[in-house]
Structure 1
Amino acid sequence: MSAVPSLGPEQRAAAWAALAAEEYEVLVVGGGVTGAGVALDAATRGLKTALVEARDFASGTSSRSSKLFHGGLRYLEQFDFGLVREALHERDLAVNRISPHLVKPLQFLYPLTHRVWERPYVTAGLALYDGLARFGALSEPMPAQKHLTRTGARKLFPALRPDALVGAVRYYDAQADDARHTLTVALTAARYGATVLNSAEVVSFTRVGGRVVGARVRDVETGQEVDVRSEVVVNATGVWTDDLQTLVGGRGRFHVRASKGVHIVVPRDRINGETGLILKTEKSVLFVIPWGSHWIVGTTDTDWDLDKAHPAASKADIDYILEHVNQVLTTPLSHEDISGVYAGLRPLLSGESEDTSQLSREHAVARPSPGVISVAGGKYTTYRPMAADAVDAVAEDVTRTVPASVTEDIPLLGAEGYHAMVNSLDRLAEQWGIGRYRAEHLLNRFGSMTPDVLALAAEDRDLLQPVPGAEEYLMVEMVWGAAHEGALHLDDLLARRTRISIETPHRGTESAEPVARAVAGVLGWDEERIGNEVASYAARVEAERRSQTEADDQAADAVRVAAPDTRAVAVGRALV
Structure 2
Amino acid sequence: MSVPTTALSAARRAGELAELRDRDTPVDLVVIGGGITGAGIALDAASRGLETVLLEAHDLAFGTSRWSSKLAHGGLRYLATGNIGIARRSAVERGIMLERTAPHLVRPLAQVVPVFRDTPPLGAVLPGLGFLAGTVLSRLAGTRADRLPGARILSAGKVARYVPGVRRRGLEFGHLNWDCQLIDDARLVTAVARTAAGHGARVITRARVLEATGTRVTVRDEFGGGGGESSDDDEFTISARAVVSATGVWAGQTTPGVRVRPSRGTHLVVRAAALGDPVGALTVPVPGETNRFCFALPAEFGRLHVGLTDVDAPGPVPDVPEATEDEIDFLLDVVNRALETGLTREDVLGTFAGLRPLVDSGDGNTADLSREHAVLTSDNGLITITGGKLTEYRLMAEQAVDLVVGRTGVAAGPCRTADLPLIGAPGHPEVARPTPVSGGGRLPASLVARYGQEAAAVVSESLLDRPLEKVADGLDVTRAEFSYAVTHEGALTVGDILDRRSRIGLVHTDRAAAEPTAREALAASPGSATPPPDPLPL
TM-score, length of structure 2 as denominator length? 0.90
Q: Which amino acid aligns with 2:158?
A: G
Paired residue for 2:67, among 64, 81, 88? 64
Question: What residue identity is the alignment partner of 1:60?
Answer: G
Q: Match of 1:234, SS?
A: strand
The aligned residue for residue 384 of structure 2 is: 374
CA 1:303–1:507 in 2, change beyond 3 Å: closer, same or farther?
Answer: farther
2:475 and 2:126 map into 1 onto residues whose CA distance is: 45
Which residue in 2 is equivalent to 1:195? 202
- The Cα offsets for residues 514-558 of structure 1, whole Å up to 9 and x where unpaired, read as 3213321327678xx58x85xx79x944xxxxxxxxxxxxxxxxx
| 1:276 is aligned to 2:281 | yes
Report how far residue 126 of structure 1 moved.
1.6
- Give the counterpart of 1:183 among 190, 194, 198: 190
Q: Which residue of 2 aligns with 1:286?
A: 294
Q: How many Å separate the matches in 2 of 1:165 and 1:232?
A: 58
Shift of 1:410: 0.5
Q: Is the 8 A contact 1:115 1:166 kept in 2?
A: no
Q: Show the counterpart of 2:215.
A: 213
Secondary structure of 2:298 counterpart: strand
What does 1:395-406 correspond to in 2, within 5 Å? 395-406=405-416
2:417 is aligned with 1:407:
yes
The Cα shift of 1:198 comes to: 0.6
Structure 2 residue aligned with 1:570: none
- Displacement of 1:165 in angstroms is 4.2
Post-superposition CA distance 1:39-91 (Å, at most 9, x none): 11111111111100000000000001001110232222211111111111111
Query: Aligned equivalents of 2:170 and 2:248: distance in 1?
Result: 38
In structure 2, C-alpha distance between the alignment counterparts of 1:88 and 1:4, rounded to whole Å: 32
Q: Is the 8 A contact 2:249 2:355 kept in 1?
A: yes
Q: Which residue identity is paired with 2:156?
A: R
Higher alpha-carbon deviation: 408-417 or 380-389: 408-417
Match of 1:555 in 2: none
Structure 1 stretches lacking a partner, 5+ long: 207-211, 542-576
Q: 1:499 aligns with which of 482, 496, 503?
A: 503
Q: Match of 1:242, SS? A: helix
Distance 1:508 1:104, change over 3 A: same
Retained in 2: the 8 A contact 1:95–1:103? yes
Deviation at 1:442, TM superposition (A): 1.5
What is aligned with 2:48? 45
TM-score normalised by the chain length of structure 1 = 0.84
Distance 2:514 2:79 in 1: 43
In the alignment, is the contact (CA less than 8 A) between 2:114 and 2:173 conserved in 1? Answer: yes
Work out the CA distance in 2 between the residues paired with 1:61 and 1:136: 27
| Aligned match of 2:9 | 8
From 486, 489, 496, give the equivalent of 1:482. Answer: 486
Per mean C-alpha deviation after superposition, the further-off stretch among 236-245 and 157-166 is 157-166
Q: In 2, distance between residues paired with 1:138 and 1:327?
A: 34
Structure 1 residue aligned with 2:138: 133
Counterpart of 1:146?
Answer: 152
Q: Is the 8 A contact 2:209 2:217 kept in 1?
A: yes
Partner of 1:365: 375
How far did 1:238 drift? 0.2
Alpha-carbon distance, 1:6 to partner: 1.5
Q: Distance in 1 between matches of 2:492 and 2:464?
A: 22
Shift of 1:202: 0.5
- The CA distance in 2 between the partners of 1:370 and 1:165, in whole Å, is 60
Residue 298 of structure 1 is matched in structure 2 by: 307
Would you say the 8 A contact 1:102–1:181 is kept in 2?
A: yes
1:121 matched to 2:126? The reply is yes
Distance 1:369 1:166, change over 3 A: farther
Secondary structure of the corresponding residue to residue 462 of structure 1: coil
1:158: which partner in 2?
Answer: 164
Q: Distance in 1 between matches of 2:238 and 2:166?
A: 56
Deviation at residue 93 of structure 1 after TM alignment: 1.2
Q: Secondary structure at the match of 1:397?
A: helix
Task: Render the CA deviation track for 1:122-157: whole Å, top value 9, x for unaligned.
Answer: 333222111111114055551111112333322332
Instruction: Work out whether residues 265 and 308 of structure 2, in 8 Å CA contact, stay in contact via their aligned partners in 1.
Output: yes
Structure 1 residue 496 displacement after superposition: 0.4
SS in 2 for 1:393: helix
Tell me the equivalent position of 1:31. 34
Q: Which of 230-239 and 509-518 deviates more? A: 509-518
C-alpha distance in 1 between matches for 2:464 and 2:347: 37
Question: 2:361 — aligned with what?
Answer: 351
Contact 1:4–1:449, Cα closer than 8 Å, also in 2 = no
Alpha-carbon contact 2:249-2:317 (below 8 Å) kept: no
- The yes-or-no answer on 1:90 pairing with 2:93 is yes
Q: Is the 8 A contact 2:482 2:517 kept in 1?
A: no
State the 1:462 CA deviation.
Answer: 2.2
What secondary structure, in the 3-state scheme, does the structure 2 residue paired with 1:27 have? Answer: strand
RMSD: 2.7
Q: Distance in 1 between matches of 2:519 and 2:416?
A: 40
Query: What SS class does the counterpart of residue 490 from structure 2 fall into?
Result: coil
C-alpha distance in 2 between matches for 1:428 and 1:163: 52
The one-letter amino acid of 2:375's match is V
1:98, 1:410 within 8 Å by CA — same for their partners in 2? yes
Q: Extract unaligned runs of 5+ from structure 2.
A: 225-229
The correspondence for 1:515, drawn from 518, 526, 531, is 518
Amino acid at match of 2:265: G
Post-superposition shift, 1:456? 2.5
Q: Deviations over 1:14-55 (max 9, x none)?
A: 210232315211110000000000111111111111100000
CA distance in 2 between partners of 1:80 and 1:239 (Å): 23
Shift of 1:468: 2.3
Indicate the larger mover: 505-514 or 362-371: 505-514
Distance 1:27 1:164, change over 3 A: farther
Q: Structure 1 or 2: larger helix share?
A: 1
Deviation at 1:120, TM superposition (A): 4.4
**2:227 alignment counterpart:** none
- Is the 2:64–2:354 Cα contact (8 Å) retained in structure 1? yes
Look up the match of 1:571.
none
Of the candidates 219, 237, 253, which is equivalent to residue 247 of structure 2?
Answer: 237
Aligned-partner residue type, residue 194 of structure 1? A
Equivalent position of 1:320 in the other structure:
330
Q: Is the 8 A contact 2:377 2:383 kept in 1?
A: yes
Identity %: 34
Deviations 1:206-228 (A, max 9, x none): 6xxxxx31111111011312211
Map 1:76-115 to 2 at 5 A. 76-113=79-116, 114=119
SS at match of 1:461: coil
Structure 2 counterpart SS, 1:100: coil
Q: Counterpart of 2:149 in structure 1: which amino acid?
A: P
Q: Give 2:267's aligned residue.
A: 263
Question: 8 Å contact 2:114–2:338 — kept in the other structure?
Answer: no
Q: Provide the C-alpha distance between the structure 1 equivalents of 2:223 and 2:494, rounded to a whole number of angstroms.
A: 14
